[in-house]
Chain A
């Protein structure tokens, strides 16, 4: 091999390869990070209030931990237990700080822009609303992650007593960082929907704090269950740090304590951010599509989780557990109905124009695109699909792991009844809410009415039955009273009977509520489609009128060409005024105008051509007939301008 060949070979082998997409994306993000994030971080580190907050909160946390730790340590408790208690106190206080301050800070992020008068400038840059929202979210997340970093030395107190490992601390911070994400996203979502910072902060505090307290209570409960199943030694809300430290690779731990919380947090954050993006996006643009993507991912995720969690249940408990899981999954199906019932009648004009410019496939997606009718179609499809998928995901593990188990048919029928019932009720909620939205033209009012109607449909049949025949409530399972059969929860009662008591013959009773809610949903759906069509016709008519007016105005504003005599003669010829009157109006010589109008019109210079001149149009009513396709051209701009000149 020659030296030149060797050099060429080396050169080709060392030539830089183009970076893959991920590397290129990371490089771009590193070199050009989200400007909102950069600006927010710069601003916050220059405010004295934040620095003071950092000092004070860390000091206060250390004081609380020392105070409680000292009190506990002064007793007869073994040091290892004291260490665990100090650990729990540290993380509980840190969690409280996050749950209080992170949503409140995020709640002021966009409303603060509105109140400072910078919001409109930001919107006018054309920056994607998603980028704005993600920037705000990341800024809050980064700021409070930094607060956690400042808290870190305090956890060292727990190590003085022992009983915890560094992995416990790592998983503890993992838990805090996980909670911080929905806390920040929730605040941003509120901020995007409200105008006042005070109201946003107030709402963030008074909704997220009670919710997080309830979540912490549930965490205690799950801790008890985990303690019984996995023999954990750590007590308190941060029990999961021990589970993750000691049995991370056990697949029940991995699924229930790692994957499931991660998925739920991810979906919650996605939902809040989608809501915030919809809030920032102007009403003239598509707001529902981000929720549609979320629904697709949510359905896939819940299906996978239902399959995984049901697989963990022992065979003899699978029927009941499956029924309980599907009842909870029904909440998600109902939630889909509530999300998509708030669409305006027509898709945004901007969106329609953009779609029209795209490919045929994209245009076909308009069937499920924004607007009341397409969104109702999409949501109805998702409701039916998710109902069946969820039921299937619960039944499948039984078929796979325990194929010969008793009463499998009853279990399947019970799940099917519940899935159909969920679908019918959710379709009714969706269609009735969407119809109210397009009729009363207020999203909030329609949603409140829809929820009130749903709650009323649950409660009122029970109340009425109690009033009419109170005794019948005692045998509600075996022989439900007539009115109870029409409550939106009857299908669950019935499914439970088939699942639990194996009363397969009662499966036909689902027909009544299914028909009732299905029919109502269908009628509402017809109402939506009809209403939307009427609105579209009206809007098209208004648009045409507006364009006509604009053309007329443009015609008026164009000054007539030629001398006053020309103008007057033209006016006289088209019969707008008598020659004398026209001459006076145009300030022209009367004699000349009269002479011109009495003389036969001069033939147009291009009279032989196919296109008649404006004069020919104006003067000879039959001139149009000489023009090929005269009728079809009547509305073209050229024809309009001819008419203008005439």
Chain B
């Protein structure tokens, strides 16, 4: 849905983006990760037609953002990091204003605004002045605004920034809902825990360069071809690692610092099933099986190798 092809950009004499390439597949929730100052917002602003890349190009649904900005704006909703709102209008007036700005006809406007308020859970607040809303509510209002023209792609720059835990959960639910509606969502954040539950693919950016991009699992596998599963047994007899070491796909088995068995293996879920079967055949009482996940935090640290500013 979004193709970023070799973009570079300079602010004055400082090069902020270096030959960035990545692709956001259709219908995915894609995480754009990087520390502050990595170039995330610059890249997102380019995608949103607000900035022209010095080199390279960005295609959104096949449209070049520089050559076809109008078409791109029709299919894209962008919520900037430091978005502002009009203070002296009510929620409904605010959304009605943007619906009119999107050239939605007066008859369809009312319906659209109601539907978007319903989706973003703003119906109760329809007559409240925007001035009197909390940060989380304003964030939801900003997302509601980006949804008015029913865009295929949503770009949300730091959507959970400054939200309390409850508002973050609500935001995550909303994003899941949007994904279920078939929208492609691109989220940026420097807080990995914000994204870890939501995204299926990521691009990791640091100092203006993409260090890795693709599905989280693929990146994890590339970084660590050997995967691991932790087994907690009721008892750990001597030589409890032996039955597992005998399995063809198991690379190693050892007792971890927490006492659990840590079994490194190659392959997929079928190997995990073999490991569990071997444990049962060996007469071990298995209490818990916990495959180590390719969590974002781990991947990020692996990819950036501690070079964070």
Given A42-B89, A117-B80, A123-B50, A350 and B69 contact (CB-CB distance below 8 Å)? yes
Decide if A35 is an interface residue (CB 8 Å cutoff).
yes
Bound: A120/B86 CA distance, A: 13
Tell me if B6 and A549 are in contact (CB < 8 A): yes
- Which residue of the partner chain A has the closest CB to B45? A120
Interface string of B62-91 (1 = CB under 8 A from A): 000011111001101010101111111100
Tell me if B78 and A124 are in contact (CB < 8 A): yes
Tell me if A284 and B66 are in contact (CB < 8 A): yes
Decide if B100 is an interface residue (CB 8 Å cutoff).
yes
Tell me if B84 and A42 are in contact (CB < 8 A): no
B69 to chain A: closest CB distance in Å? 6
Decide if A282 is an interface residue (CB 8 Å cutoff).
yes
- Which residue of the partner chain A has the closest CB to B81? A117
In residues 37-80 of chain A, which contact B (Cβ within 8 Å)? 38-39, 42-44, 46-47
Cβ-neighbour of A117 out of B50, B74, B83 (below 8 A): B83
Interface string of B100-143 (1 = CB under 8 A from A): 11110110000000000000000000000100000000000010
Cβ-neighbour of A125 out of B56, B88, B101 (below 8 A): B101
A279 to chain B: closest CB distance in Å? 16
Cβ-neighbour of A38 out of B68, B97, B98, B145 (below 8 A): B97
A43 to chain B: closest CB distance in Å? 4
Given A46-B88, A349-B66, A553-B5, A120 and B100 contact (CB-CB distance below 8 Å)? no
Decide if A610 is an interface residue (CB 8 Å cutoff).
no
Interface residue tally of chain A, by bracket? 20 to 34
Tell me if A121 and B83 are in contact (CB < 8 A): yes
Decide if A19 is an interface residue (CB 8 Å cutoff).
no
Tell me if A43 and B89 are in contact (CB < 8 A): yes
Tell me if B55 and A43 are in contact (CB < 8 A): no
Bound: A191/B84 CA distance, A: 18
A229 to chain B: closest CB distance in Å? 51
B129: which A residues are within 8 A, CB to CB? Answer: 46
Decide if B158 is an interface residue (CB 8 Å cutoff).
no
Given A117-B82, A350-B68, A124 and B48 contact (CB-CB distance below 8 Å)? yes
Interface string of B37-57 (1 = CB under 8 A from A): 000000000001110100111
Bound: A353/B74 CA distance, A: 18
Decide if A218 is an interface residue (CB 8 Å cutoff).
no
Given A117-B80, A553-B6, A353 and B68 contact (CB-CB distance below 8 Å)? yes
Decide if A6 is an interface residue (CB 8 Å cutoff).
no
B112 to chain A: closest CB distance in Å? 13
Interface string of A361-392 (1 = CB under 8 A from B): 00000000000000000000000000000000
Tell me if A39 and B69 are in contact (CB < 8 A): no
Tell me if A546 and B56 are in contact (CB < 8 A): yes
Interface string of B1-42 (1 = CB under 8 A from A): 000011000000000000001000000000000000000000
Decide if A628 is an interface residue (CB 8 Å cutoff).
no
Tell me if B67 and A353 are in contact (CB < 8 A): yes
A38: which B residues are within 8 A, CB to CB? Answer: 97, 100
Tell me if B78 and A43 are in contact (CB < 8 A): no
Bound: A125/B72 CA distance, A: 11
Tell me if B84 and A117 are in contact (CB < 8 A): yes
Decide if A122 is an interface residue (CB 8 Å cutoff).
yes
Cβ-neighbour of A126 out of B52, B57, B103, B106 (below 8 A): B103
Bound: A549/B6 CA distance, A: 8
Given A32-B106, A125-B73, A126-B74, A39 and B86 contact (CB-CB distance below 8 Å)? yes
In residues 109-149 of chain A, which contact B (Cβ within 8 Å)? 116-118, 120-127
A36: which B residues are within 8 A, CB to CB? Answer: 101
Decide if A31 is an interface residue (CB 8 Å cutoff).
yes
The 30 listed contacts between A and B (C-beta, < 8 Å) are A31-B106, A32-B105, A35-B101, A43-B86, A43-B88, A43-B89, A46-B129, A116-B85, A117-B80, A117-B84, A118-B83, A118-B86, A120-B48, A120-B80, A122-B101, A124-B73, A125-B98, A126-B70, A126-B74, A127-B101, A282-B49, A285-B69, A349-B66, A349-B67, A350-B70, A546-B6, A546-B57, A549-B5, A549-B6, A550-B57
Q: Which 10 A-B pairs have the closest CB atoms?
A: A117-B84, A35-B100, A125-B101, A116-B84, A43-B88, A46-B88, A118-B84, A126-B73, A127-B101, A550-B5
Give A contacts to B, CB under 8 Å. Answer: 31-32, 35-36, 38-39, 42-44, 46-47, 116-118, 120-127, 282, 284-285, 349-350, 353, 546, 549-550, 553
Contacts A39-B97, A46-B88, A118-B86 known; 5 new A-B pairs at CB < 8 A = A42-B88, A43-B88, A282-B69, A353-B68, A550-B57
